[in-house]
Structure 1
Amino acid sequence: MNTDPYQSLLTHLATCHDKSDIEVLLTALLTEKEQHEIANRIRIFDLLERGVTQRDISEQLGVGIATVSRGAKAIQHHDVSALLATHRKGQ
């Protein structure tokens, strides 16, 4: 049994069979504010990948420019482009 809480979270998410299972798990784990912040981070990633400027993203999402900059820095350090492209294809 894995005792690392983050790895445990990943294991639980990986065992979810569909979107509704993930929603139930995340609703149980996260406050509404935390859910919103994570959703905004994904939106920031997506908009950056589409070439939207950081200032426009900040205005569109109603978040500070520092929040968008952190998202841009995270995208540089973690290659999520393929995951975002997969998501866009499924829309």
Structure 2
Amino acid sequence: MSLQPEYQEWQQVLDLIKQSTESEQHEMLLTMLLTPDERDSLVARVNIFRELLKGDLSQRQISQLLGVGVATITRGSNELKSKSGDEKQQIAHLLKVD
């Protein structure tokens, strides 16, 4: 008998998060899954994307504003560059970018 973990793919984790949201248990699940540092990093990442999509500040200014390294901003910028215009619009809408 071969033992394998129940969750082996990212999509399975996304489905779990969706299910937890539908049952209003997402806050408990995400708090349990993410350490305080990981939650802080996720908050920073959301703010990085928001600022990049707004386009008002340079990467260096975003770095100073959020207290993260320029390389972190660059990784976010590169991720955005890999998205289609439609995907960028969807992300901007989710992040309430004016």
Report the TM range for the smaller structure's normalisation: 0.7 to 0.9
Deviation at 1:53, TM superposition (A): 1.3
Q: Is the 8 A contact 2:49 2:76 kept in 1?
A: yes
Specify which of 50, 54, 59 is matched with residue 50 of structure 1.
54
TM-score normalised over the length of structure 2: 0.76
Paired residue total: 87
Deviation at 1:5, TM superposition (A): 3.7
Amino acid of the structure 2 residue aligned with 1:85: H
Q: Which residue of 1 aligns with 2:93?
A: 85
Percent identity over the alignment is 31
Distance 1:21 1:84, change over 3 A: farther
Two-structure CA RMSD over aligned residues (Å): 2.1
User: Could you list the runs of 5+ residues in structure 1 that have no partner in the other structure?
Assistant: none
Deviation at 1:17, TM superposition (A): 2.3
User: Could you list the runs of 5+ residues in structure 2 that have no partner in the other structure?
Assistant: 1-5
- 1:43-82, Cα deviation, whole Å (9 max, x unpaired): 1000000012111110000011001111101111134421
Q: Which residue of 2 aligns with 1:63?
A: 68
Q: Which residue of 2 aligns with 1:28?
A: 32
Q: Identify the structure with the greater helix proportion.
A: 1
Q: Is the 8 A contact 2:50 2:95 kept in 1?
A: no
Q: Which residue of 1 aligns with 2:22?
A: 17
Amino acid of the structure 2 residue aligned with 1:73: N
